[in-house]
Copies of this chain bind each other. A is one copy, B any other.
Amino acid sequence: MERITVQVNKPYDIVIGKNLIDNAVKYLSQFIQKRKVLIITEDNVNKHGYLDKLKYSLENHCENIEFLSLPPGEAQKNLKNVELIIRYLADAHFTRDDVLIALGGGVIGDLVGFTASIYLRGIAYIQVPTTFLAAIDSSVGGKTAVDITQGKNLVGAFHHPVCVLCDTSTFQSLPTDIFEDGCSELIKYAMIMNPKLLKELIEREQPLNKESSDLPEIIYECVKMKRDIVLKDEFDQGLRQLLNFGHTLGHALEQRSQYRISHGRGVAMGMAVFTKMAVTQQLIHKDIYTSLIQLLSEYHLLSEKPSYTSDQLINIMLNDKKRRTHQMTTVLPNEFGQCRLHVIDLNTFQQNFEKEWEQYEVHQRY
């Protein structure tokens, strides 16, 4: 079992290990005693029995415990569900002393975190991530959000949980492609600031998988990195942009494909193209690019190059930045296991990207 403390205004712990849910009360009792608890989850998670286990462990230790299970999927991360949960809380007379538990992946985590942040101007919530991505990324950092038809994550808040309980046993029921999507973020962490982890991933005999016994240690490494970045830039005004490595293009690909390209696959292609860009600009040696491509391939993250033109993608990437500024910040590899923020002229970026995107297919064969 690993434990890591996040020293924000109200410090909280992230506990990582196997079968933690069965003993949830051991880690959560201080947050639920004499309190009302509402667990919010979704049907894909629920059907594997995690909700039952969690309830069973907690039910004799809180004032009362209720649950709500939503349908699965990104489409549920919306304002309607925020309102639904809020009305539920108000009807059940939840006060500022009571607590929500988010049991699920990033969708449930973001939805519940945001709702907790606005009910009575903020009540406590606990994250119990059940996807690898939620474990290493969305459950850390305090960003919460929901989507509106105009775009993803356009409405949200900064609101830290009071505890994160990360039970890696829940990953066993994860579809493989969902687990791999999480690995894209893992590779991102290694690329932006962890040469040791990057080396380990490259040299591993077997790619990490949802049964790997060292999952808790790996999650611990990632969470520690994200924590350190977040602590230096809690409200997303600089350094935190490092975490966007691969994401500018990744988001554009997700959006353009109407989310047929998954987040993990989009980010993977983003990292590939931007790493190649760094090679072209002689920021790094070609070998780093070769290793990255190999790594991404092992995790089946490199999908076919889609037929979008570079113009189409640039339009999405620049959004309407051009209206107001001449520059943007890109994240580029700088060394093995290290990225840097580069402020770059919009026109230059456009030219560089065009060239890279056209050649991309060829280079993928490395």
Measured CA separation A321–B236 after assembly (Å): 39
A118–B156 CB distance below 8 A: yes
Which of B63, B97, B155 sits near A118, CB closer than 8 Å? Answer: B155
Name the B residues within 8 Å of A324 (CB-CB). Answer: 34, 63, 97
B154–A120 CB distance below 8 A: yes
A79 within 8 Å of B (CB atoms):
yes
B90–A151 CB distance below 8 A: yes
A157 within 8 Å of B (CB atoms):
yes
B117–A155 CB distance below 8 A: no
A11 within 8 Å of B (CB atoms):
no
Name the B residues within 8 Å of A165 (CB-CB). Answer: none
Measured CA separation A320–B301 after assembly (Å): 53
The segment from A142-150, A242-250, A261-269 that touches chain B is A142-150
**A160 nearest CB across to chain B (Å):** 13
A320–B93 CB distance below 8 A: yes
Which of B34, B86, B145 sits near A121, CB closer than 8 Å? Answer: B145
Give the number of times this chain occurs in the complex, counting copies.
2
A155–B63 CB distance below 8 A: no
As a 0/1 sequence over residues 95 to 134 of chain A, the CB contacts with chain B under 8 angstroms (1 = contact) are 0010000000000000000100111111000000000000
Question: Interface size for chain A: under 10, 10 to 19, 20 to 34, or 35 or more residues?
Answer: 20 to 34
Measured CA separation A118–B110 after assembly (Å): 13
**A260 nearest CB across to chain B (Å):** 23
A87 within 8 Å of B (CB atoms):
yes
As a 0/1 sequence over residues 254 to 295 of chain A, the CB contacts with chain B under 8 angstroms (1 = contact) are 000000000000000000000000000000000000000000
Name the B residues within 8 Å of A157 (CB-CB). Answer: 117-118, 121-122, 157
20 contacts between A and B (CB under 8 A): A34-B324, A79-B79, A79-B83, A83-B148, A86-B154, A87-B148, A87-B150, A90-B151, A90-B154, A93-B319, A118-B118, A118-B155, A118-B157, A120-B154, A120-B155, A120-B156, A121-B143, A121-B236, A122-B158, A157-B157
Q: Lowest 8 A-B CB distances belong to which pairs? A: A90-B150, A121-B156, A118-B155, A93-B320, A90-B154, A121-B157, A79-B83, A118-B157
A residues with CB within 8 A of B = 34, 63, 79, 83, 86-87, 90-91, 93, 97, 114, 117-122, 143, 145, 148-151, 154-158, 236, 319-320, 324
